[in-house]
């Protein structure tokens, strides 16, 4: 329980209280008891493949607030890993701003503004952070959504040694 509590960022007592509540509500059920040096440990499983919780049943004020609660920590983690990867390469990193399409600016990280490099260069680690405003018809946007989804599904099925974080959005 202590290991699970640490992983969730709470105390063992708080987690135990929640587990007992979830068992009462039928969300978890005990599957076995295991012995360990300090006694016995109860192992639980979820009673369903997934659960639907309407946003108004959460503490979120609206859907945007709920999305922030769910995805902002993942985005912050992604940014930290991205920046850490750049720092590990060394150099005096900054942002290169160049005119983009439709009056927007293209922003790209660079260790040296005089050197043309791409995140796709073989010598660089697999780090990517892109933002773009695309001008698409609804059908093209839907096709892009499907392609991105298919790529994620395909790579999620692979079992490599490295851990890479991906956050994709289209709106």
Span 35-83, pLDDT tens digits:
988 888 889 999 999 989 888 899 899 999 999 999 999 999 999 998 8
Question: How much is the pLDDT for 71?
Answer: 92
Instruction: Write the secondary structure of 1-68 as one string of H (helix), E (strand) and C (coil).
Output: CHHHHHHHCCCHHHHHHHHHHHHHHCCEEEEEEEEECCEEEEEEEECCCCCCCCHHHCCCCCHHHHHH
At 102-143, the pLDDT tens digits run 777 888 888 777 777 777 888 888 888 888 888 999 999 999
Is pLDDT above 80 for 32? yes
Q: What percent of the chain has pLDDT over 70?
A: 99
């Amino acid at each position: 329980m202590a290991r699970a509590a640490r992983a969730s960022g709470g105390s063992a007592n708080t987690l135990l209280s929640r587990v007992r509540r979830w068992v009462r509500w039928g969300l978890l059920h005990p599957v076995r008891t295991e012995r360990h040096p300090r006694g016995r440990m109860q192992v639980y499983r979820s009673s369903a493949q997934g659960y639907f919780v309407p946003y108004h049943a959460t503490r979120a004020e609206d859907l945007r607030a709920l999305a922030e609660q769910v995805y902002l920590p993942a985005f912050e983690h992604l940014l930290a890993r991205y920046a850490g990867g750049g720092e590990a390469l060394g150099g005096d990193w900054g942002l290169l701003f160049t005119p983009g399409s439709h009056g927007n600016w293209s922003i790209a990280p660079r260790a040296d503004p005089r050197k043309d490099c791409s995140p796709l260069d073989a010598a660089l680690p697999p780090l990517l952070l892109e933002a773009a405003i695309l001008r698409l018809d609804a059908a093209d946007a839907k096709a892009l959504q499907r392609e991105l989804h298919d790529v994620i599904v395909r790579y999620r099925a692979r079992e490599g040694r490295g851990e890479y974080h991906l956050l994709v959005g289209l709106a």
